[in-house]
Amino acid sequence: MSKKHPRIVLTGAPVLYQGLLYVPLSSWEETAGGVGSYGCCTARGGLAALDAKDGRLVWKTYAIQQDPQPTVKNAAGTQMYGPAGAAVWSAPTIDAKRRLVYIGTGDTYTDVKENGSDAIMALDLASGKIKWRNQVTENDSS
């Protein structure tokens, strides 16, 4: 598992299916971005699958695939980052027949182009591999 993000929060209900707990990932980082000394933004929404017996992380998939990189400095001189955002605010939906789990993602937190925000995504139940995505609104931070 990658390093923990200090602003990650769970806002959607997890879903239990066949021994795995599917947990939507969100953050409070968008609001923290208004603080001049905060180097926003690096949180990416997504979905984590945990073993229901022991809590072990089985897989984690970010809605935004690109790692955040330094972009510009804000008026206070603080380094800013992107892309970020695409929080998953609601419970995932299991499609047992197709062996998929669906998530809906929220807005982007930055002006860096990406394709995971404001999207509906289908992930493989066992691996978390993204099978398809449909980004409904591009560049919504502008």
Reported in sequence order, the residue ranges of 6-140 that DSSP labels E, i.e. its strands, are: 8-9, 15-17, 20-27, 46-51, 57-62, 69-73, 79-82, 93-95, 100-104, 119-124, 130-135
Q: What pLDDT score was predicted for residue 8?
A: 74
**pLDDT digits 0-9 by tens, 94-131:** 999 999 999 999 998 888 888 899 999 999 999 999 99
Two tokens at 112? 């860096």
**pLDDT digits 0-9 by tens, 12-62:** 999 999 999 999 999 888 777 777 788 888 999 999 999 999 999 999 999
Q: What is the pTM of this model?
A: 0.88
What mean pLDDT is predicted for residues 81-85? 93
Model confidence at 2, pLDDT cuts 50, 70, 90, reads: very low
Share of the chain above pLDDT 70, in %: 94
